Structure 1
Amino acid sequence: MANPILRQKLASRQFITAPGIQDMIAAVIANKVGFDIVYGSGYWTVASAYGLPDAGIASVTQMVDRMATLVRTCNAAVVADADTGFGGLLNVHHTVQAYEQAGITAIQIEDQEFPKKCGHTPGKRVVPAEEMADKIRVAVEARRDENFLIIARTDARQSEGLEGVLHRMKLYAEAGADILFPEALTSDEEARIVTSSLDKPMMANMADGGLTPIRDAKTLQSLGYSMAIFPAMTSLAAAAAMESALLNLKQTGTSLSPDVPLFNFKEFCSLIGFEDVWAFDKKWAR
């Protein structure tokens, strides 16, 4: 079942900040910090699980399996990247039902040609707007739970300009999308123009290193957004920390350094569930 919290927060106009979660270590740390909504990023999930670029290489089966594991591990509701729906209209239908059965709360579908590209890298091409609108109609019809929300993303900014974004957002809203996602806008002014164009919740992508300026939650809300994802933050932070630790080990021959903070091992054992294992072993010891 989809978690109703996302629909409830949107209805009450509470701004939503969702960190990207690339693997289950990030998931248990997010549990500790206390987020109620997280984002299952396609880019970073595929990079973490398979060491591959976000270029439509991972299959729907691989992505659903990964997202289902994320749902099982997270205390939070999961908003999941589903690329282009992994094909045509029939693929979209089955993708929606597979993600819903996995316990996802919202699914993001984009209007790129398949295979897609990361929204903040070169070479993106979009499908005709009506083709994407049909995908949204199919997605809306395929879902069984009203709390399972459909997010329509457009990558048209770089090929069709802001007018293309506005045209597509209007079509996708009319097709039944619950949330609109104008990807890779390049300024606050563009954000204001797009968010004021339709009375629909809109999502911002705060992709560190990408085309959109990074803004804080208060600023994004003032720009007219209802929610923001920060898909790259945990992955880039983890990569930087690992590089630092590995360089220290290579140079000094030890893991110990005041410049390389390490998470407490005993606490991590608890976060990952070893206390339940120890309790089980104690109960059944002979």
Structure 2
Amino acid sequence: MADLLSRPGDRRARLRALIDAGEPVLAPGAYDALSARLVEQAGFDACYMTGFGTTAGLLGRPDVGLLGGAEMAANARRMVAATDLPLVADADTGYGNPINVVRTVREYEQAGVAALHLEDQVMPKRCGHLTGKQVVPAGEMAAKVRAAVDARTDPDLLIIARTDAAAVDGLDAALERARRFADAGADLLFVEAPTSEEAIETVATELSGHRLVFNWAEGGRTPALSRERLAELGFALVLYPVGTLLAATAGMRELLERLRTDGTPAAMLDRLGGLDAFTRIAGIDEVRELEERYRDDAGA
């Protein structure tokens, strides 16, 4: 099992090394332990715990600030235990003031995440690509970033500061906030939801010299750029937050429609792959290896 094979500190150091290597690190979104395993099996170097997907998976609801820090940290812990990948985790607003942020960072660090991002929205927050957002004063968020940096015990834990101010106060205000968050100690800067390629280029130019996050939100408000273009612009980490969730939802809807129409799922069995294939995806070979390793030899 993954939690028996590698330590969180090793994964954090690995993610820092990848970030420092100069090429964008691609982190597909996952919302539970199974989807995290699929990201790992697809050959990616990092995984992203999406708050949007976590809310949808746990509550069946949109991302409008319904989950608390304990629920999010628990989901992160399960995902860390399911793979050997460094996990980048959504920590929303930190779930309160700087004191709450201290607890959030410690809970996430104990869960084993390699990086987490905090945002400057007013609680209850909402998905960065939904309308109706509000942001806290920049100084309040800078204090949260300082608290997060001070709270970590592993210096390799990456603190990502996200601002949603572009949709509220304009891009210039978002850039100024990002600079303040860098001065407060953030390791990476995340300007959420620029709505044009020109705005994306401005973010990259104005924040040149800082390590930047790009949110490739599938179907969101930000234009889709190629990996090559993002590399040219200097983005260090690229999140693909909801593609796995949207794909899983589309697949389940198709299966259920076929079942309702035909009365059986027989027409889709070839595409589904069967139980044996699924148990291999879920790690039955690892379980059997452990069973063999720890077989009762009392009678030997």
- TM-score, normalised to structure 1, is 0.94
Q: Residues 124-203 of structure 1 correspond to what in structure 2 (within 5 A)?
A: 124-198=133-207, 199-203=209-213
Instruction: State the distance in 1 between where 2:103 and 2:51 align.
Output: 18
User: What is the deviation of 1:53?
Assistant: 2.4
Query: Which residue of structure 2 aligns with residue 208 of structure 1?
Result: 218
Instruction: State the distance in 1 between where 2:114 and 2:28 align.
Output: 15
Change (3 A) 1:263 1:180: farther
Q: Residues 1-286 of structure 1 correspond to what in structure 2 (within 5 A)?
A: 1-2=8-9, 3=11, 4-198=13-207, 199-257=209-267, 261-278=271-288, 280=291, 283-284=295-296
Contact 1:134-1:175 at 8 Å conserved across structures: yes
Instruction: State the distance in 2 between where 1:211 and 1:276 align.
Output: 41
Contact 1:39-1:79 at 8 Å conserved across structures: yes
Contact 1:19-1:230 at 8 Å conserved across structures: yes
- Give the count of matched residue pairs: 286
* Amino acid of the structure 1 residue aligned with 2:50: S
SS at match of 2:267: coil
User: What is the deviation of 1:257?
Assistant: 2.2
> Identity over the aligned pairs, expressed in percent?
39
Superposition RMSD on alpha carbons, in Å?
Answer: 1.9
- TM-score, normalised to structure 2, is 0.90
Change (3 A) 1:276 1:165: closer
Superposed CA deviations along residues 11-63 of structure 1, whole A, max 9, x for unmatched, are 22121111000122212222221222010011101211222321222111111
Contact 2:213-2:237 at 8 Å conserved across structures: yes
Contact 1:136-1:177 at 8 Å conserved across structures: yes
Change (3 A) 1:195 1:259: farther
SS at match of 2:271: coil
Change (3 A) 1:75 1:278: closer
* Unmatched segments (≥5 aa) in structure 2: 1-7
* Unmatched segments (≥5 aa) in structure 1: none
